[in-house]
Chain A
Amino acid sequence: MAKAGQTKQTASTARKRRKAVLDRKKEAVDLKKENAALRRKLNEAYQQQAATAEVLKVISRSTFDLQTVLDTVVASASHLCEADKAFIYLRDGRGLYGIAANFGFSREFEEYAKQHPIAPGPGTVTGRAAVEGRPIHIHDVLADPGYTARKFQELGGYRTDLAVPLMREGVPIGVFVLTRSIVKPFTDKQIELVSTFADQAVIAIENVRLLNELRARTDDLARSVGELRALGEVSQTVNSTLDLETVLSAIVSKAAQLSGTEAGTIYVFSEASREHQLRATYGMTASLIDAIKDQHAEISKAVALAIEQRQPMQAPDLRTESPSVARDIMLQAGYLARLVVPLLAADRIVGALVVRRHAPGEFPKNTIELLQTFAAQSVLAIQNARLFREIEDKSRQLELASEHKSQFLANMSHELRTPLNAIIGLTEMMVANAARFGTEKAIEPLRRVNRAGTHLLGLINQVLDLSKIEAGKLELAPETVSLAPLIEEVAGTARQLAEQNKNRLTVDAQDNLGSLTIDPMRLRQILLNLLSNACKFTKEGEVNLRVRKVADGRHWVEFAVADTGIGMTAEQQSKLFEEFTQADASTARRYGGTGLGLAITRKLARMMGGDVTVMSEPGKGSVFTLRLPAGAVAAADQPVESASPGADCILVIDDDPTARELIGDKLKAYGFSVVTAAGGLEGLRLAKALRPCVITLDVLMPDLDGWSVLAALRQDNELAEIPVIMVTIVDEQRRAFALGAAGYLTKPIERERLQQVVGRLRAPVAPTRVLLVEDDEVQRESVRSWLGDRQWIVQEAANGREALARLRDSRPDIILLDLMMPEMDGFAVVAALQQESRWCDIPVVVITAHELSEADHKRLNSGVQSVLVKGTFRPAELVERIRRLVSRRGAGIAMEAHS
């Protein structure tokens, strides 16, 4: 019994054991399954991550290459999502979707897709995704009644279709499509994964787009900069030279270089021969130029066509053009493409710009536009050159005419003088030897014949003078003459004239007139003319000649001839200096005279840099005042206003003394030194002698007009570089610039405009450091304000001690010094400066309230360069003086350095 019970017990245990084993086995299997699933998941996740990382890596590495990115995206996504095939569509400019990347599809499919871009709409999965902006998933395209892209399906052989739109800022820019050739829908997870890839693709596309845009802009910018630079160079050439060949060569070479062409030519239409002439070439061999010169008629045809159409005409491929000798020459030389840009002015044909390229093809729009700009520059240059030639021709003709006139007058004068010799001689003889000839009773008529003859002779002499002045042939022969004896001599001659009308002649000459550099013969002529007029129109009255030195910013010698005669009305005065005009017609009858004397007098005075003016009242008499520049009045304490040539010197050429003074004063106030010329000829002479940094040039001048002066300056190699500012009442800006003027001003001159124009032309200079030593605050304030609008650094000191302290800090270029100051006066400052070797060469200008005594001068002991008395000088004078002293010192230092 016990054995049976034992067996039963054993069987139950075994069953239990087996179950446990089975359970464990099952657990193990489950576990294994779980593990496998986990492993799979892990693997998937890893693969996804790896794929995403790969895509990201590709994107970051190949930012420039969209195709690589898209290819990687489609391949990775297909692989991860178990799709057989995949492609990416991108939206084009028309809103259609075209294939951009393909994975797994046949060439045939790709070709078909390329030719049939997809429009947004329900017929395709792509179209639907584009319309709806969300993923579209068709489990079986064959079972979808709305799916109409049968041909795509046939060629692609797919059943399940997934389309994920590529969204940028809510707008589809493409569609990412994955397909399976069996019906097997994508899982949500896979759809999610594809969306991630789609986002990556959008980023990549966006990067590339931005980069391309940036690149395009950079290219545009670089091109613009290049074009601007080239145009700048061309403009510069156009402005700097009037030599047409130079300008056109510059234009054609820049035009060819910038348009990416290898050769270029400019044709200029000749009015004379009615044909286009080759004027400039670029990149062409001499033999090629010769060859096309011979084919003139045919080249002209292309040019004429562009001109007729008034627009650029291109031949992208000469091989397709109708055959001609010219075409064959070009083809042989290897030029396949040609662009002709017409050169057109508003009212005339100018010519054409032609560029030629080896490579065939259309010329880009911006190239054509660029060449049109060059064409406009060429037109300008050609017109300038033409204008200049015309002006040159005219001035040559005028010169010739004036030459003929002078010659005629010289001959005329000779022919008139010969018979006059007999008339004057014989009448003189008959008056002097009346008894011998029995002409006692005919003395009066003989005297009248003689007087008439003498008058005629005077007239001839004056006409000759006038014509010489006008032709610029009258040359002054200046020499340094002592004024006192010259005045004495003139007065002696005039005294006889005065006595004829019982006038009293008095001379009132200032002491120490010194000497004057002037043409003495012409000065005598002027003075005698004024004195004889005064004597003629005054009876039993007084004629006074007063001579003195005056200064109004410049130094002058003034000769005033006053009479107590008949005087003149304002109207009479206004015509007085015109040729062949006297106060009125009856004057000539009553008083004689030619009406040329005053015209000549004024012209001579102006040639000498001065002028003659009149003040008169009818019945009370007249005062004629001659002013001549005392350029060479030699007086030690009055430095002459002769400007040093070079950096700061401006030459003002103007026949109107008021204008000269006005412009000169303004320029001096800006710190320039100014030299003036009263006419074109004198201006040219001074320009050559002084080499000024800038010239201001009046247009209307009697002896040689501004245009001729400008042309002469431009033709002189040594003077051609000097900037010229044209000043005129006539607005002819275009002409001024065409002829090479650097600036332009119209009268009346505005202060700001003048400063602007001159400032622009002038090289910047280092500021001048001025130490102003003055105890009076008000005086300091005004000096500071005078030096305010220039490049000055003004340091101030209220007395001598402060001045020395400032000097120890920094060394000024010049010291302006008051003499009477508390604590330490100006004399002590000068003494201190003299003792210190580093200060003794600083120029000192004393500004004093009183004239200095002899003792004061001794105390200053030549430690002072210049003395100005307060209230007697103008700001411009001070500025000019400072400028001169500072520049003189600069020149001295430079010379030392050389030796």
Chain B
Amino acid sequence: MTTTPRTKAPHARSAGAKNRRRRSRTAAREMAGLWFVLPALVIYLMFFGLPFLATVGLSFTDWNGIGWPDFTGVANYVRLAVDGAMWSALTNNLIWVVLGTAVPVIVGLILAVMLWSDARGSVAYRTIFFLPVILSPVVIGVIWGWIYNPLFGLLNTGLREVGLGAWAMGWLGESETALYAVLLTAIWSYFGFCIVVLFAGLQKVNPELVEAARTDGASATQRFRHVIVPQIAPVLTMVIVYTVIGGFNAFDMVWVMTQGGPNNASEVIATYTYEVAFRGNDYGYGATLSMVMSVVALLAAWATMILRRRGA
């Protein structure tokens, strides 16, 4: 039989007490942190967690907004697979994400580098480029709607004035041009944000490295690609990710300018979901479409993390 010593040496007791006090203080600090986080956590769960779970649940029902929903299993997900309008909207979203990310980021990067290279009036240009960002998307949509207006719009009037009247058309009313006309407006309203953020990132570029590359005979393109871009990679990644996620959530500009028309030509997932759920009172299927948006957003977030790791 062995016995466990019931007493410890004085210095061991003292160290144990210190550890206990330290642990107690740490636990108290952690609890305090938890209390600080709790209000935000409750709000998050109430306004995001619970609605998200409710949406998941509704996606398995045929709820029409009235009464109690009936469970329909995976019927909505089967319907999703054969819903041509959904695939068309998703395709439009992909076009939106690709063009709506590539164009403003590339244009923004080029202009940011030009402004960074001690261009005269840099502050004025940055202000001008950033102005559309502070305008409401609704205001922008209405104004560009006037520009595209086939009766009195600036665009068609201008085309006619320069002898290109044959090109004049109802930009927002033709199925071939509606999506791109709205997308151009969105790009115009957004590229200023890219310029300002990338310009801020460029402030951390070491000019000595750029100068050294120039001394070594690197061309402007080589300096840009191999010296500048690697140094702003984290910022560039953040801008791309932010823009991609925004592209999947596109709604306001499309809704104001075309409401997804004509004949769904400019429909994106968010506008289609709204129409199905709130106009068609098909909340069950609307919830299923929301799940599509969530999955796509999760994939975009995952791609972001990969890009971040590579960019870091």
Report if A and B associate in a common complex: no
Residue numbers of A with Cβ under 8 A of B are: none
